[in-house]
Amino acid sequence: MTVSAGRVFSLVVGAMVGAAVMAAPVSAQGLYYREVVKDGKVYVFNLAREFEAFQSGIAPAKPIERLGWGPKGETVVFDSPDALNLFAFKYGKAAEAPPAAPSPAPAAAKDDTPTVKVGGTIYANYTYTADPTAKDSDGNTIHPNAFDDSRAYITLSGNISHLVGFRITADVGPRQATVSTGLPAGAAVSSNYDGSLTYRLKYAYGQVNLDDVLTKGSWARIGMQQTPFLDFMEGVYRYRFQGTLFAEREGYLPSGSSDFGLSAHYNLPNDYGDVHTGIYNGENYNKGEANDQKAFQVRGTLRPVPKQEVLKGLRLSAFYDADHYVKDAPRQRFIGSVTFEHKYVNLGIDYLDAKDQTSTTKPEVRASGFSAWAQPKTTKGIEGFLRYDSLKPSKHVDARKNRTIVGVAYWFKTLKAPAAAALLLDYEHVGYDAPLAKPNESRYALHCLFNF
């Protein structure tokens, strides 16, 4: 009879395994097998450490029991599935397949349910101007003072799917005034809306979320949208309801941090920072494009030690805006910022360098300055507010404009962002060096924030 080599190999291997099992104890080819009868049960070990522990009175960590499997019908206790199968081979019982590994949980399905959220923001205030004084219609000297709303947002935002989102925001604009030309001398026109605050579009953009291919929080946008620097800084600064940030307040960045354009945002892995860059008209959200020039803007932010409890609040940012009033007439901005956020204080300092040439026929104007602010905080909602701005409007004129703001605020307790409410009492002084030929300014104000 002819026996194949494979058959011979199988018989040899089977004999070796059978011999190993029949010998007790055995320690060969990595196998260990031991049977012990105790208290009417048979204990079978494939792990030497389990047998040693058993001798010290410790039961197997993960015992497997089979009733009536023993040679005399005893209950058999195994220390592992391998011990069970070796016992089964020895006594001619059917072996058991090892338990199947659990199937990996299916990936959670992306939620493509369309959603819409409604939100709003109100900045209400009362301002008393101590200096300079003004004249009323009868020629009396007065200190101007007024109640006003400097911002009143209504926002619709949401998702069309997990990939596509949107935002539409209307904001209160300047008081309407009807202007006309070409009328006869002394003639005038007006409307019922003159003097009223009017609403205008502030944001209107679509967004493609890139979380599936990049880091979470990465996206691309098109439409009327936030520009890279101001929107980011306002999230750290938190007191825009007192007034705008340094570069915006001095007119070096478009008011309202919004413009028409195409932009992209990328979050660095492990919370080390982010990058936001885009191409915009450069004329602000309340103006149309004036020419063929576009503004390229980019902000990069680094969080050097994101995992350290205290220093994770430190961020270093750089912003650059390259634009032109007309061809070869630059409008450029560079801002370097250092910010720090903590439970008990927020700090920041910005350095601004600006270059403006409104026409190739006019000289270039270089301006520079800085803004430093501090917001000491308590756990009771009471905060301090300190800010100092210093601007040199032209490098050719040895003169500066300096602003000092001092205030105290109370933030009401809210359970979940973006809900917020705060009150701020502040004093603001603006001083001009003599060459700038402007009167100094002093004002007191109560500012209120309501966000929902």
Which of the four pLDDT bands, split at 50, 70 and 90, describes residue 379?
very high
Candidate from 46-60, 206-220, 266-280, 409-423 with smallest mean pLDDT: 46-60
Structure confidence by residue, pLDDT tens digits, 74-89: 999 999 998 888 888 8
Domain extents for the chain?
5-91, 115-451
Q: How far apart are CA 149 and CA 168, in angstroms?
A: 20
Query: What is the structure's pLDDT at 19?
Result: 38
Query: What is the structure's pLDDT at 100?
Result: 60
CATH annotation of 115-451? 2.40.160.10
Query: What is the structure's pLDDT at 285?
Result: 85
Query: What is the structure's pLDDT at 17?
Result: 39
Which residue would you say has higher pLDDT here, 334 or 70? 334
| pTM, two decimal places | 0.74
**406 has a pLDDT exceeding 60:** yes
Query: What is the structure's pLDDT at 359?
Result: 95
**22 has a pLDDT exceeding 70:** no
Q: Calculate mean pLDDT across residues 53-58.
A: 88
Which residue would you say has higher pLDDT here, 136 or 32? 136
Chain-centroid distance, C-alpha 142: 46
**25 has a pLDDT exceeding 70:** no
Which of the four pLDDT bands, split at 50, 70 and 90, describes residue 186?
low
**260 has a pLDDT exceeding 80:** yes
Q: How far apart are CA 17 and CA 29, in angstroms?
A: 10
**16 has a pLDDT exceeding 60:** no
Where do we find the tokens 């197997």? 60
**10 has a pLDDT exceeding 70:** no
CA neighbor of 203 nearest in space, from 281, 295, 286: 286
**14 has a pLDDT exceeding 80:** no
Structure confidence by residue, pLDDT tens digits, 333-366: 999 999 999 999 999 999 999 999 999 999 999 9
**130 exposed, middle or buried (CB, 10 Å; 0-12, 13-18, 19+)?**
middle
**96 has a pLDDT exceeding 50:** yes
Q: Calculate mean pLDDT across residues 93-103.
A: 67
Q: How far apart are CA 300 and CA 116, in angstroms?
A: 31
Q: Is there a contact between 377 and 345 (Cβ–Cβ < 8 Å)?
A: yes
DSSP for 393-412, please give it: S-TTS---EEEEEEEEEEEP
In the sheet that holds 31-38, the strands lie side by side as: 26-28, 31-38, 41-45, 75-78, 64-66
Q: Calculate mean pLDDT across residues 98-119.
A: 79
Structure confidence by residue, pLDDT tens digits, 295-330: 999 999 999 999 999 999 999 999 999 999 999 999
**28 has a pLDDT exceeding 50:** no
Task: Fill in the DSSP letter of residue 312.
Answer: G
- In percent, the amount of the chain with pLDDT more than 70 equals 90
Q: Calculate mean pLDDT across residues 11-25.
A: 39
**248 has a pLDDT exceeding 80:** yes
Q: Is there a contact between 15 and 9 (Cβ–Cβ < 8 Å)?
A: no
- In percent, the amount of the chain with pLDDT more than 90 equals 70
